[in-house]
A and B are shown apart, each in its own frame.
Chain A
Amino acid sequence: MNSWRDILTLAILFVSLYYEIFLLVTYIERRKKIHGVFSVKTRTGDDLPRVTVIVPCFNEEHTVSKTLDSLLALEYPQTKLKIVVVNDGSTDNTLKVLESYRNYPHIEILNKENGGKHTALNLALQQSNTEFVGCLDADSYARPDSLARIIMKFDRPEVMAVVPSLQVFEPKTLIQKIQKVEYVIGAFMRAILAEMNALYVTPGPFSIFRREVFEIVGYYRKAHNTEDMEMAMRMQVNGMHIASAHDAVVYTSSPRGVKTLYKQRVRWTSGFLNNARDYKHMLFNLKYGNIGMFVMPFMIVSSICVLFVITSIGYDLITMVQAWYLRYSSIGLNMFEWSWPSFNWFYIQTTPLLFCGIAAMSIVLIFIILGSRISTDNKPKVLEIVPYVCLYSFIAPLWVIKSLYNVALQKKMSWR
């Protein structure tokens, strides 16, 4: 170790390793519970509670039909299901598409002026009177058994909300295949974070709540266009348990290219950082257990660390270019003379940073393997894992930096 940079990098790797190992230790401790299979047949149709699913739509003419069809195909008594579709002032043909579902007695269509997702959700929430209520984004599709599996999780009376396992819907492009691997890791992490009672988001695609949650903590807020994170944080502040049903699969449309992915992630990351600032009293507060002492601080610190890592990589690149220039200015074009590379172990980089980096990457691979085990379908293939490992670390810092910039300068984020 020879410089402050190495020491700082080692400290960052230590924190990253700590986070990964913490999750792994929790998994090993709770693996039987996490892998416990809940039979959907333990309840008969009569026992199942009534559920309202809200589908907020804003310009979703291409996807909303499939979303509604997936709800109609749920293996759940349709008499116990109420679907409220809220057209939030769409300017495309969404309303026309919705009209074709008017004939279903348990589908209600509400039409309002555009006011943002939280207003659409709140309008439907105010009208719902079922024991359970949830949301399904109009670009996501629930697997037929998902709702029954989610409802089983509410057998534990302390569970106030349940999040599903999100999977990428029909990944075609490279960026979507990378996200597929990311979502598998995400589902695995959510299963563990739920065991730690530290979930900081109840995703728009099919998170289901007990109705009383909204009576106690209130309705959705705008919350920097990430109302699903703010709701989860508000629930955590009120000591409510959010569980994960990793066997309840919901497919979601994912960005096809880098540009749309970047925009989506800037919104998510900025939203998290802004919400974390709004809930800063949770940070390092023992009262909030793992989420306050561990998960939120780590997420914030890791975002800031990205700045250091990028600066560090930039510095290395400049040094490399300088070395090339030095060589060029010394021996001119002779530097491009070809010579066969020779292997000598002496010149292999063997810093502690390398070994810690290998350990951290190995744990990520373990997460992918374990995530694949708990994902009942859509298991990632090797050809999808390789680009994830090689590319994701390089593109993720882009939106983290932009998000830090947005949060620092209080920039407002748009949905699309």
Chain B
Amino acid sequence: MHIFDWKRYIITFIFTAAIVVTALLISSWINSQRVDELRNIQDSISVNLLSSDVQFNLLRDASCSDLFNSSIGQELGSLSDKLSYMESIGRGNDTDVVTLKKYYSLLEIRDYLLSNSAASKCPSRPVTILYFYKANCPDCDRQGQILTYLRQHNPDVLRVYSFDHDLDVSAVRTLANIHKIAEPFPNIVIGGKTLSGLQSIESIEKILPILTATSTATSSKIIRNQ
């Protein structure tokens, strides 16, 4: 004789739902911690940038090493990696993440402007590349890999500022207009010159020979250490 015990089915459902809801809550809490960490990094960059900006504008005596202290570059790089990760796990369109991306773009532009305005004072400042990308653009993914590789191998001499062309930020649109950013994507701007379409490592190194010199020096150092 078969008996169907509804009570056990309901109790099981409650336990199962409790586990799944707990999993969702833990995941959501960790994601909110991630967003908090991104916010902390942005606050830190913002303070560092503001500090350099104020020094440059008011005192006019800040040293080049202060203005281009590599921690800003590293922090911008770290923030960029983390925002890319958030995009890769499908949270790129979350309101918090989109807001952080916009804020990050503005910080990048601010750092870029500061770098340009110090050009005459600091001739050996890091070289800069502006990188404009779009969603659903395979070549943009490739260009991203190439620029990440170059940035990681030249942390002291290269700063890459990447901008999502689809992001609704007027400052980014203005920057894109100034540099005549257009299809086909990706676009990169080196030394005020806009290059459209995918640019290889070799072609970028040809335009910026300092990257080759640095990479070679690094490679030689590795060989010597071995």
Contacts and interface: CB of A to CB of B under 8 A. Distances in A.
Interface residues of B, number: 36
Contact of B9 (A13, A22, A331): A22
B166 interface: no
A331 B11 contact: no
A236 B2 CA distance: 8
Interface string B67-100: 0000000000000001001000111000000000
B16 A352 contact: no
Interface stretch (B57-65, B116-124, B140-148, B155-163): B140-148
B20 interface: yes
Contacts of B34: 346
A29 to B, nearest CB: 7
A289 B1 CA distance: 9
B85 A293 contact: no
3 nearest interchain CB pairs? A289-B2, A2-B90, A355-B23
A17 B2 contact: no
A291 B5 CA distance: 12
A25 interface: yes
12 contacts: A2-B90, A10-B20, A21-B19, A29-B8, A239-B2, A292-B2, A326-B145, A330-B141, A334-B149, A334-B201, A350-B31, A354-B27
A334 B13 CA distance: 52
A350 B90 contact: no
Contact of B11 (A25, A329, A330, A354): A25
B43 interface: no
Interface in A185-232: 197
A29 B12 CA distance: 12
Most chain B Cβ neighbours within 10 Å, of A25, A288, A352? A352
A25 B26 contact: no
B152 to A, nearest CB: 9
A197 B22 contact: no
A327 B8 contact: no
B209 interface: no
Contacts of B1: 158, 239, 241
Contacts of A79: none
Nearest to B28: A352
Given A346-B82, A350-B26, A197 B4 contact: no
A356 B27 CA distance: 11
B16 A14 contact: yes
A287 interface: yes
Contacts of A353: 23
Given A331-B149, A332-B201, A359-B23, 6 more contacts: A18-B13, A22-B8, A292-B2, A326-B145, A331-B146, A356-B19
B23 A356 contact: yes
Interface in B124-169: 138, 141-143, 145-146, 149
Nearest to B2: A289
